[in-house]
Amino acid sequence: MKTLNPAVARVLKRLHYPLDVILTCVRWYVAYPLSLRHLEEMMAERGISVDHSTVHRWAIKVLPVLEKVFRRHKRGVGRSWRMDETYIKVRGPWKYLYRAVDKEGNTVDFLLRAHRDKAAARRYFEKSIRLPNPCARASPMTRARNSRAIKTSPPPPA
């Protein structure tokens, strides 16, 4: 059996429910459009008495830690990605939705903002894409810089 990440173990240390119940509730809360009260009812149907506020506390405690752990294993993007901008209506007011899209058209990350700010969105994406992938950090040198470096370097010893 695989041991837990120390950060995850520290967060889950004082929770009084089994780990599979906690992770199931948090996963369903994040993955599906369920309210906390729906989760409370679903767990009651399975014979587990849990309050909706408890599920909310679990989500607040566990999700940041899981996000850190999963970000390390996130698939690398590479050097080529594009930023897509559109606006959508969210509960009445219009919001700006920025997406970072890779070569294959897969959404790498997204940002939802109340006001339009392309520069801030670009900085956000550069930072979030740079974190898990060392390849995205490397900047290719231009031919002129390469040839200048080759010309100025001393010849190898014979």
- Quote the number of domains for the chain: 2
Report how far residue 109's alpha carbon sits from residue 114's, in angstroms, rounded to the nearest whole number.
Answer: 17
Whether residue 44 is found in the same domain as residue 88:
no
33 within domain boundaries: yes
pTM of the model: 0.51
Report how far residue 74's alpha carbon sits from residue 53's, in angstroms, rounded to the nearest whole number.
Answer: 30
Each residue's pLDDT tens digit, 21-54 = 998 999 999 889 999 999 999 999 999 999 999 9
155 within domain boundaries: no
Angle of helix 19-31 versus helix 52-72 axis, rounded to 10: 80
Each residue's pLDDT tens digit, 67-114 = 887 777 766 666 777 888 888 888 889 998 888 888 777 777 888 888
